[in-house]
Structure 1
Amino acid sequence: MDRVAEILAEACAEVVEPRFRALAAGEVMEKAPGEVVTIADREAEVIIERRLRELLPVPVVGEEAVSADPSLALALHTEPAAWLVDPVDGTSNFIAGRPDYAVMASLVRSGQTVASWIWQPATATCYTAELGSGAWCNGERLTRPLAAGPPTEWRGSLKSRFLEPELRRTLEANAAAGFGEITPGRNAAGIEYPDLVDGALDFILYWRTLPWDHAPGSLLVTEAGGVSARLDGKPYRPEAPGGEEGLLVAADPDCWERARAVLFGR
């Protein structure tokens, strides 16, 4: 666990942090319509992939590599084990000079996330989780308290960018009427999941669930006592892009059920 945390921090210090608020012309590219990438993303992924393979020689499913060759993500289902890597989570924040970005990795065995790491360079904070062994922040054990009070006192985040317009309007109306405060989020799963574990949020609804974004935080949340599940209640499992949509993350099982009921009228 410690060595992977070191790998992420080292790669970040080598090629990501030196470019924070210092990206040169030509170092930001569009990899797909509405999706940007920087030279820092690409260089960090190469470094992290090489060092993770030295630690455990299994396939590495990296966000930027999969962007170039989507078939690489199939290793999550076809291989006994695989690494997942998000070299710069919150790239839009990074480009804008906002400190809400992270470097993340997970280890997946037989389709289940068994270990995860989230490095937040702006605050030198490392979140880790290991299946069955708990969640940690800079070496201190994390336990997510139960959501306090009724839903009208809860604070949540509704990630509505990828929702169909009609469903977005319905969910936004239900959320506004049923919860205490709804935020748009911080544009980085590696910041938002720790926010939930630390108590700043009680629930988050995501729609698109790319595996490198959600495997690290989902394990962190569940090992701290929270819930990360599909809308039918199935526990989250990392899937190749294009798989199931919709993921509700919450402080505890009762919070998850009640948040879903408010949002979807179930």
Structure 2
Amino acid sequence: MLMEKVAEILAEASAEVVEPRFRALAAGEVMEKAPGEVVTIADREAEVIITRRLRELLPVPVVGEEAVAADPALALALHSEPACWLVDPVDGTSNFIAGRPDFAVMASLVRAGQTVAAWIWQPVTGTAYAAELGSGAWRDGRRLLRTPADDAPEKWRGSLKSRFLDPAEHHRLQTNARAFGHLTEGLRSAGMEYPQIADGDQEFIFYWRTLPWDHAPGSLLITESGGVSARLDGSAYRPDPPGCEDGLLVACDPETWERTRDILAGRLHQ
């Protein structure tokens, strides 16, 4: 019941305040919330609706991206509270503003610091992804099980999201990544990128910056479909408040994760 109800909440909030403004934002409906970061009225209104309805469903703290922008201390609930919701009302805001279709509406449920349920709604295509810890991952109600990657890294498709790294480390990663077959810069929306791995369209993604509302939903989707989402030391991803930890490698299966990490680190297989 919970899984279906949250999916409904995201789709309904999207239909009410996000989708009507896609390619129709009025003057004054795009604001700067921090240097270099923008937000729209759709982000803010959707978060208010989703927050209220999630708390009606389960009355625990809601860590929303826009609420945390106003009060960063709210994110501490991820460590201090037994349970909390995570909400990203419009993931891929820059795409939304530019009229590009790559944006999503996302939520997750975190218990004892671990993501236990996750939802991704892609409004333009009307595609719904969901995952529940220990129970599986689904796209539009159909179970997702990702097949392992081809054995040859030169055939793998991946993305490096490393622009927040220092220039020297960024260059090193880019150089080592030439071993892979096809690299992209990603879609500027975690809610669009993680499903690419679950759906079989890509083998790996490396992220440096890992804001919890961006990565909790997709990480659970990947692990429940047979893949790996882990820090570079091999520890499983757990949603932390912003600034706690960065660096995350996501891959379609455990062997691909290990080999991708080795290649990016410059370690060669004999």
Structure-1-length-normalised TM-score: 0.99
Q: Counterpart of 1:130?
A: 132
C-alpha displacement of 1:163: 1.2
Corresponding residue for 1:186? 187
Equivalent positions of 1:138-149 (< 5 A) are 138-149=140-151
Match of 1:18 in 2: 20
User: Structure 1 residues 159-168 or 181-190, which shifts more?
Assistant: 159-168
Partner of 2:261: 260
Tell me how far 1:115 sits from its aligned partner: 0.1
Aligned-pair CA distance for 1:149: 2.7
- Name the amino acid aligned to 1:200: D
Letter of the 1:97 counterpart: G
Deviations 1:119-145 (A, max 9, x none): 001111000000000000000000011
**Separation in 1, partners of 2:120, 2:165:** 26
1:34 shift after superposition = 1.0
Name 1:85's counterpart in structure 2.
Answer: 87
What SS class does the counterpart of residue 75 from structure 2 fall into? helix
- How much has 1:168 moved relative to structure 2? 0.5
Structure 1 stretch displaced more, 98-107 or 144-153 = 144-153
Q: 1:243, CA displacement in angstroms? A: 1.1
Offset at residue 105 of structure 1 (A): 0.1
Task: Write the letter of the residue equivalent to 1:80.
Answer: P
Amino acid at match of 2:197: L
Unaligned runs of 5+ in 2: none
Pair 1:40-2:46 in alignment: no
* Partner residue in 2 for 1:157: 159
User: Which digits, 9 at most, give the CA deviation of each residue in 1:200-250, with x for residues without a partner?
Assistant: 110000000000000000000000000000000000000000011100000
SS in 1 for 2:260: helix
The CA deviation at 1:33 is 1.1
Amino acid of the residue matched to residue 43 of structure 1?
E
Q: Which residue of 2 aligns with 1:167?
A: 169
1:94-133 matches, within 5 Å, as 94-133=96-135
Counterpart CA distance in 1 for 2:87 and 2:155 is 36
Corresponding residue of 1:220: 221
CA shift digits 1:29-72 (9 cap, x unpaired)? 11111111000000000000000000000000000000000000
Determine helix, strand or coil for the equivalent of 1:190.
Answer: helix
| Structure 1 gap segments, 5+ residues each | none
1:60 aligns with 2:81: no
Query: Aligned residue for 1:5?
Result: 7
Q: CA separation in 2, counterparts of 1:157 and 1:165?
A: 17
- Provide the C-alpha distance between the structure 2 equivalents of 1:145 and 1:91, rounded to a whole number of angstroms: 31
Post-superposition offset of 1:161: 1.7
Alpha-carbon distance in structure 1 between the residues aligned to 2:163 and 2:53: 34
What is the alpha-carbon distance in structure 1 between the residues aligned to residue 205 and residue 256 of structure 2?
11
Q: Distance in 1 between matches of 2:266 and 2:241?
A: 29
Q: What is the aligned-residue RMSD (CA, Å)? A: 0.5
SS of 2:5's equivalent in the other structure is helix
Q: Which amino acid aligns with 2:5?
A: R
Query: Quick one: distance in 1 between partners of 2:182 and 2:258?
Result: 18
Amino acid paired to 1:95: I
